[in-house]
Structure 1
Amino acid sequence: MLRLATASLVGTAIEFYDFFVYGTAAALVLGPLFFPSFSPLAGTLAAFGTFAAGFIARPVGSIVFGHIGDRYGRRPVLIGSLLTTGLATVAVGCVPSYASIGIAAPVLLLTLRFIQGLGLGGEWGGAVLLTAEHAPPARRALWGCFPQMGPPLGFLLANGLMLALTAALSRAQFLDWGWRVPFWAAGVLAAGGLMLRSSLAESPQFLELAKTGRRAAAPVAEVFRNHWRLLLLTAGALSTGYAIFYSVSTWALAYGTERLGVSPTLMLALVMAAVVVQGLLTPVVALLGDRFGRRSMCLAGSMLAVVWMFPFIALLCTGEPMLMFLGFVMALIAFVTIFAVLAAYLPELYEPRVRCTGAAVGYNLAGLLGGALTPVVATALSDGEATPWGVAVWLTGIAVLSTACFAALPETRPRPHPAGAQPAHPGEESVSA
C-alpha cells in the first residue's frame, strides 16, 4: 500500500504541477505576452479564459480515460494521462509570444491548454481508484489522501519555481524567457513519473470485474442513464472546493499584484505558506473521515466556506500580509475538509463497473463551475470596486449550493458486515449509491 500510495501521490503531484504552473503564469505574465493589445484588465480576463479552457477539457478527458479505466483497467489511465498532460505542458513553454507570430500565439496556447486539461481529466480518477480499491476499508480515506496530497505538492513545486525565478530575474528577463522554465521542467518530471508508475499492479476490483465478465460495455452511457442524479449531486457538491482553491491560488494572486500593489514574490509566498498548511492537514482530516464519516467532513467544510467567504475578501483587501495569510489559511481549511476524504468518498458512491467514469466525470464537472468560472467571474466582479463584495457573494452562493448537495448524498463509511453476510459488489465493502 505504501509503495502504491506513494506512486499515486508523485503522479498526481506532477500532473497538478503542470496544471497549476499555467494558472500562475496566467495571473502573472500571459496577459501582456499573448494579449498585448488588450487593457490590463482585459488581458488578465483573456489569460484566465485560456486557463478556463483546461477545465472545459477535463470532463471530456474524464469521459475518454474513464472509458479506458472501466473497460481496460485503472493502470493504463495513469500512463496515458501523465503523457498527455506532460507533453502539452512542455509545448506551452515553447509557444512564441504574440509579438513573434501574432494571433497564432494565443490560438496555440488555447489548444495546448485544452490538451493539458484532457490529460488531467483522466489522472484523478485513475490515481484515486487504484489507491482506494487496494486499500483496506477501515483506512480507505487515509490511504486515499495520498493522491489528494499531490495537488498541494504540485502547487508548491510550480509556485516555488515561479517564486525563485521572479526573485532571481529582472522583470524583463522573466517576461522574455524565465516564465518558460517551469513548463520545460515538466518534461523531466513526467519522465520520472512514468518510470515510477510502469510497475504498478492493477486494481483487484477491476480484475474481479474482468474475470466475471461484468465490465460495463458503455460506461459513459450507463453513468448518464442510471446515475445522472448522483452525477449532478457530486458535481454540485464539489464545486465550492474548486471555487475556494482557485480564488486563493489564481484570482487573489492577480488581484493582489495588480489592484493592491503587493509584489508578486510576496503574494506567491503567502499563498504557498497557506497551501503548506493545507497539505499538512490532509492526512489529519482523512483520519477523521475514517472515524466520523466522509459526508460529515464534507458538510463541515462546505458550511465553513459559507461563513468564511466574506471575511476572506475583507482580509485580502487589507493588503496586510498576515491578515491576507489568515484569510487564505481559513479558506483552504474549508477546502481540505472536503477534498481530503474525496478519494474514498467518490469511489464508494459509484458501483465498481462504472466507477472510473462516474467518479472522474463528477469530479471534473465541478471544476467547470468552481474552477473555470471563478477566476473570470471574480476578476470581472472586482473591476472598479474598492472591496469586491460581489466576489464574496459568488463564493458564498457556490458554498450554499455545495452544502445542499452534500446534504442530499448518502454516507458511505464502511460498517462491519454481519457474520456470513456478503457485500453488495464482490470486493466492495462499502455502501454504493
Structure 2
Amino acid sequence: MRHITLDCPDSHYHTVIAECGAYAPPRKRISMKRLTETPDLSTEGARISTTGRGPAQKRAVWKTAIAGGAGSVIEYYDFSLYANLAIYLSAAFLSRSDPGTALLDTLAVFGSGFLMRPVGALFFGWLGDRHGRRTSLLTSVVLMGLASSAVGILPTYAALGVAAPLLLLVLRLLQGFCAGGEASGASTYIAESAPARLRGFFGAFNPAGIAIGTATAGGLAAVVSAVIGSAAMSEWGWRVPFLLSLPLSFAVLFLRSRLPESAQFAKNVRTGVAAGSPIRAALVGEWRAVVKLVLLAFSMTCTAYVGHVYLNTYLTAQLHRPAEEALGTNSIITVVFALLMPCAAWVSDRFGRRRIYGAAMVGYIVLALPAFQWMAPDSGVPLALAMAVSFIPWVFAQAVGYPLFTELFGAKARMTGVAFGFALGTILGGGFGPFVAQLLMTATHWTLAPAAYMAASALVGLAALRFVGPSKIDDVPAETAAEPERG
C-alpha cells in the first residue's frame, strides 16, 4: 500500500489516504483554538495514494461514517426536543385559554425555526465550501447546544409575560439557523469520504444518526415524565432534556474535532476551486439542481415530520393516548428502524437511488391512511405494529434521500447547494408540515387529514424524481487522486 504525505508548516507529516477520502492528522492534545482550526491543505508537493484499499483505508471510512452519524445524533436531539415537548411548552409560554389554539401557536413557533434554515444554509454552506466541511460542522454544533440549553433556563409566561414567548421564538430561530447546515454538511462530508460503490451504505449513517437523535429526544422526555409524573413534568420536568443539550454538544464538539477534512475539499484547495464563490455557483450555476432538491426535500421532510415527529402530539392530543406510551413506542421503533437504514441504503447502491426513493414515496401513498387508522385506540391493532407499518417507507426515504441529494451537485458548491436546497424544502415540508396537518384536521374534523397530507406530499417527490439525472460524485475517489498543481 502506497502512502503519501503532506509537508505541513508545523513540520509534522500528515498521512492522506485519498482512496477513502480521508485526511488523518496526528493525534495531539486538543486545545479550544485547535477545535475550530482548519488544516492547511494547500501545501505544495502534496501527493495522494491511488492504489489499494487496505485495512487502514477501510477503518478510516468506517470511522468517518460513525463519527459523522454520532454528531448528528446529538445535534438533532437538540433540534427535536421542541416538537416532542410542544404540549408542555404551549402551557409554559403561551397565555391562550383554549389548549387547541395554544398548541397551534406553539407549532407555529416550531415552524418559524425553519425560516432561518436558508440563511443558516447559505452561511454554513459557504463556510464549508470555502473553509472546510469540518469547520462548518464544529461551528454549528456549538451554537445549537447553546440555543437548546438556553430554552431550559428560560422563564415562563407567568414570570416574564409576553417577553417569554418572544425569547422562545428567538432561540428557536437560532436553532433553525444552525440546523440549516447540519444535515447537509454531514451528508456532504460522508459522501466525499466514502467509496462510490458504498456511498449509499455509508451515507445512511447520517440519517440514522438524525433519527436516533430525534428518538432520543422523545425517549428521554418519556423517561423523565414516567419518573417524576405528569404534574411535575408540566411544571419543571420539561426543562431537563433541554439542559442536557450543553454537555452533549460539547461531547460532539470534541468528537468532530478529531475528524479529518474530506479529500474532496483538500483537492478543491489545491486546485483553487475553493477560492471561488460557492453561493453564486450554487444559485446561478446549479439552480436546476437546487429546484430538484427543494421538491425532493419537501416530500422527504413532510412525510417524516408529520408521520414521525408530529405523531407524538397527534397521539396524545387527538387520540388521547398516554404521553409515555406515545413517546416510548415511537422512540423504540425509531431506533430499531434507524439501525436498519444502512442496509436500506445498501439496496440503493445495488439498484439505484431513484428507484428506491420512488418506492418509498409509493409506500407512503399506500400505507399512510391505513396506518393512521390502526393507531386509534379502538382499532384493535397494537400501537407498536401500526407505527412499524407506517415507518417502513420512512426508513427507505431517509436512508436514500441524503446520499441522493449530495449527488445532484458538483464539487465547487456541493455543500452550499445541498444546504440551501434542503433548507428550502424542509421549510415547506418539515417546518410547517405539523402546523398544516393540525390545521387541516381542525378545519375538517377529519382525524386522518395528517395522513392524507403525507400522501399528497409523496406525490410531489415522485414527480420530482423524473428530472433527477446521474450522480455528479460517482468518481470522487478518482478525482482526489489527481496530482495537485505545482506552484
Normalising by structure 2, report the TM-score. Answer: 0.82
Q: C-alpha separation between the residues in 2 aligned to 1:224 and 1:173?
A: 49
Instruction: Summarize the Cα distance change of 1:186–1:350 in structure 2 as closer, same or farther, 3 Å threshold.
Output: same
**Per residue, is there more helix in 1 or in 2?**
1
Alignment size in residue pairs? 422
Go from structure 1 to structure 2 and tell me whether the alpha carbon gap of 1:320 and 1:17 turns closer, same or farther (over 3 Å shift). farther
Please tell me the root mean square deviation across aligned C-alpha atoms, in Å: 2.2
Whether 1:174 aligns to 2:233 is yes
Residue 148, structure 1, aligned to residue 207, structure 2: yes
Query: What secondary structure sits across from 2:273 in the alignment?
Result: coil
Residue 379 (structure 1) aligned to one of 438, 454, 457: 438
- For each residue in 1:349-368, what CA deviation from the matched residue of structure 2 results, as whole angstroms up to 9, or x when unmatched? 10001000111112222211
For residues 238-257 of structure 1, what are the structure 2 equivalents within 5 Å? Answer: 238-257=297-316
Partner of 2:269: 210
What is the aligned partner in structure 2 of residue 299 from structure 1?
Answer: 358
Following the alignment from structure 1 to structure 2, what is the Cα–Cα distance between the partners of residues 310 and 355?
Answer: 37
Offset, 1:329? 2.2
Q: Please tell me whether the aligned partners of residues 84 and 118 of structure 1 are also in contact (alpha carbons under 8 angstroms).
A: no
Separation in 1, partners of 2:228, 2:142: 31
Counterpart residue number, 1:199: 258
Question: Paired residue for 2:458?
Answer: 399
**3-state DSSP of counterpart to 1:408:** coil
Q: Is the 8 A contact 2:303 2:457 kept in 1?
A: no
- Residue 396 of structure 1 aligns to which amino acid in structure 2? A
Instruction: Write the distance in 1 (CA, Å) between the matches of 2:257 and 2:386.
Output: 41
The aligned counterpart of 1:3 is 63
Query: Unaligned regions of 5+ residues in structure 2, if any?
Result: 1-60, 483-487
Equivalent position of 1:346 in the other structure: 405
1:133 aligns with 2:195: no
Bigger shift: 380-389 or 89-98? Answer: 380-389
- Which residue of structure 2 aligns with residue 94 of structure 1? 153
Alpha-carbon distance in structure 1 between the residues aligned to 2:386 and 2:466? 26
Greater Rg, structure 1 or structure 2? Answer: 2
Match of 2:83 among 3, 23, 26: 23
CA distance in 1: counterparts of 2:269 and 2:475, whole angstroms:
26
Is the partner of 1:36 in helix, strand or coil? coil
Distance change in 2, residues 1:36/1:321 (3 Å)? farther
Give the drift of 1:325: 3.2
Instruction: Measure the CA separation in 2 of the matches of 1:113 and 1:237.
Output: 25
Look up the equivalent residue of 2:70 and give its one-letter code: V
Structure 1's 409 and 216: CA in aligned 2 closer, same or farther, altered over 3 A? Answer: farther
Equivalent position amino acid for 1:264 in 2: A
Q: 1:164 aligned to 204, 220, 223, which one?
A: 223
SS of residue matched to 2:259: coil
The Cα of 1:147 is off from its aligned counterpart by 1.5
- Give the CA deviation at 1:396: 1.7
| Equivalent in 239, 263, 268 of residue 327 of structure 2 | 268
Q: Mark the CA change 1:97 to 1:295 in structure 2 (over 3 Å): closer, same or farther.
A: same
The letter of the residue matching 2:309 is T
Cα deviations across residues 198-227 of structure 1 (Å, max 9, x unaligned)? 121111111111101122622122211122
Q: Please give the residue correspondences for 1:318-337 in structure 2 after superposition, counting only pairs within 5 Å.
A: 318=377, 320=379, 322-337=381-396
Instruction: Report the more deviating stretch, 305-314 or 36-45.
Output: 305-314
Deviation at 1:384, TM superposition (A): 6.8
**AA at the equivalent of 1:314:** Q
**Long gaps (5+) in structure 1:** 429-433
State the secondary structure of the residue aligned to 1:236: helix
What's the TM-score once normalised by structure 1's chain length? Answer: 0.92
Deviations 1:6-61 (A, max 9, x none): 211111001000011111111x2111111132411111111111111222222221
Greater alpha carbon shift after TM alignment, 95-104 vs 137-146:
137-146
- Following the alignment from structure 2 to structure 1, what is the Cα–Cα distance between the partners of residues 333 and 470? 30
Instruction: Quote how far apart the aligned CAs of 1:169 are.
Output: 1.3
| Inter-partner Cα distance in structure 1 for 2:417 and 2:481 | 18
Q: Among residues 42, 45, 53, which one is paired with 2:104 in the alignment?
A: 45
CA distance change for structure 1 residues 151 and 42 in 2, over 3 Å: closer, same or farther? Answer: same
Seen in structure 2, the aligned counterparts of structure 1 residues 220 and 182 have a Cα distance that, compared at 3 Å, is same
Cα deviations across residues 135-179 of structure 1 (Å, max 9, x unaligned)? 111111111111121112112221121011111113231122110
- Alignment match, 2:48: none
For 1:400-419, list aligned pairs within 5 A: 400-412=459-471
TM-superposed CA distance for 1:253, in Å, is: 1.7
Deviation at 1:322, TM superposition (A): 4.0
* Matching residue's letter, 2:79: F
Amino acid at match of 1:42: T
Structure 2: distance between partners of 1:172 and 1:329? 30
CA–CA separation in structure 1 for the residues paired with 2:466 and 2:264: 29
Q: Distance in 1 between matches of 2:107 and 2:275?
A: 37
Deviation per CA, 1:294-331: give whole Å up to 9, x if none: 11111111111122222133223355584443343233
Aligned equivalent of 2:284: 225
C-alpha contact 1:85 1:115 (8 A) present in aligned 2? yes
Deviations 1:48-103 (A, max 9, x none): 11111222222221110000111111110110010111110000111111000000
- Paired with 1:321 and 1:249, the residues of 2 have a C-alpha distance of 21
